Amino acid sequence: MFTDEISKRSHRLEVADNLEIFIDGKRLPGKIVSLDNRELLFLDNYGYHLRIDAVNQLPISVYDEADDRVYPLEKLN
């Protein structure tokens, strides 16, 4: 989960086992550009990158190129 501080809206980010990406339950069309232990780089159909950063293979933040912003991730209980 991440929160947009400007709009004050929280969003749920999910990466499925097959590496499909969902935001708020909706599949994000695009493709995985690269994947390693530190990041997953996704290119959406509009040409913008979404980068999920990880430490010890646990996601810690998401960078949205369309907004040019980094959002810290919170784990859902």
pLDDT value of position 40 = 96
Reference 4, options 77, 62, 75; nearest CA is 62
Let me know if 2 is exposed, middle or buried by CB neighbors in 10 A (0-12, 13-18, 19+).
Answer: buried
pLDDT in tens, 25-66: 999 999 999 999 999 999 999 999 999 999 988 899 999 999
Amino acid 34: pLDDT: 97
Closest CA to 34 of 10, 51, 17, 14: 51
- Residue with structure tokens 């991440």? 2
- pLDDT confidence of residue 57: 82
Over residues 10-24, the pLDDT tens digits come to 989 999 999 999 999
